Amino acid sequence: MTAVAAAEHPTVATFETRLIRVPLTRPWGAEVTSVGVVETHVVRSDGAEGWGFSWTPQIGAEAVHAMLANDVADFARGRSADPGAESLALWQRLHEAGGGGVTTIAMAGLDLALWDAAARERSTSLTGFLGGQRRSAPAYGSGVNLHYPIEDLVAQARRWVDAGFDAVKVKVGKPDVAEDLDRMRAVREVLGPDRALMIDANQRWDLDRATRNLEVLAEVAPAWIEEPLRADDLAGHIALSERLAASSRIPIAVGENLHNVFRFDDFLRTSAAQIVQPNVVRVGGITPFLGIAAVAAEYGAAVHPHLLPELSGQLALCLRGVPGVPDPLVEDVEDAGFGELGALRDSAPVRIHNGALTETDHVGLGIRFT
């Protein structure tokens, strides 16, 4: 290869990782008091640098770090540094250890760093590199709050209203659905009739229980039910979707625990879900996230990214609109953004104000950790 060709097609020269723990201001449960972040740093053969990360709450951070420091690093060195060029090959290399989960979470650490390097090399942001489609994206208030006493839940809902959110998401899944209904009635009273209320069961129900519970919870007019069943129960989601279409018509949202484009296609092709929520890290990075968004567009399904607003928000600004499909909503979990947690070296690359996300001035992803 000539020197000119090498400059046009940079490769990965070095790839380094470090594991950090970020304490949560509001614990997500008795055992979830921090999140694990593996920051990654790539240097290309042309000298361009990029920073990315992998992320997981509490469980598996050490395993992700080990896979990044060993299998991913060994794969990456000397290969193309063009974003996405080696994404499928890396997945094919790693899926012997699992088609998703630790493997795809680890993949994100390399993928994000390569996108960051590509954007930084052009002195632009990720949205500048991909092509922004909108200046702002609506955000919704969210919380890990099933363990909150009802008084604290109501207070949280009031904070969301005061912050200007037009939509919020609340956890359900108490042993008795009557308690869930009492809690949702209280939240609905705070929200009023015009704000959207989404509910999230976090895989706590089986098919029959989900059917019964959603008949009860339909009273509060949920905008969607998220993860009503075990995430890998495709047949159950198909059956529940058919039941809901004939009764309450509550849309089903899935995605935070689906890990590759093939599984998203399964759920959309079979009408098992109407809304998808890919987590950009859990699916393996920006490259597969964009692939999932393209599949969702083919089926006319809404895409609302899961968590990580500093990055998900930038992608929401870049997704092309689909006629008849709502624009992406950005999830803002209360006091859980990296910027709010003091984890970022620089100011956050996005700002959420009055229920809308906008960008701040930055290059690349704009996400480097202290």
**Structure tokens, 250:** 């509550």
Q: Is 306 a catalytic residue?
A: yes
User: Residue 158: enclosing H or E segment and its boundaries?
Assistant: helix 150-162
Q: Any residues with CB less than 8 A from the CB of 348 and at least 6 apart, and which?
A: 310, 337, 338, 339, 360, 366
Residue 200 φ then ψ, to 5°: -135, 115
Which whole-number Å values give the CA distances from 302 to 294, 314, 319, in the listed order? 11, 17, 11
User: Is 259 an active-site residue?
Assistant: no
3-class DSSP assignment, residue 148 = coil
Residue in 353, 349, 359, 351 with CA at minimum distance from that of residue 51? 349
User: What Rg do the C-alpha atoms of the chain give, in angstroms?
Assistant: 20
- 38/54 Cα distance (integer angstroms): 5
Q: By C-alpha distance, which of 140, 189, 146 is closest to 166?
A: 140
Rounded CA separation 18/302 (Å) = 35
Alpha-carbon span 306 to 328, nearest angstrom = 11
For the record, the structure tokens of 115 come out as 């996108």
Q: 41, 259, 306, 362: which is the annotated catalytic residue?
A: 306
DSSP label at residue 21: E
Asked if 82 and 44 touch (Cβ cutoff 8 Å), the reply is no
* Among 41, 171, 237, 259, the one annotated catalytic: 171
DSSP state of 145: -
Residue 7 is encoded by which pair of tokens?
């400059």
Residue 64, token pair as written in the block: 């992700």
Distance of CA 52 to the CA centre of its chain: 15
* Angle separating helix axes 234-245 and 261-269, nearest 10 degrees: 30
The CA distance from 83 to 114, in Å, is 5
Neighbours of 230 (CB within 10 A): 15
Please identify every residue annotated as catalytic: 171, 306
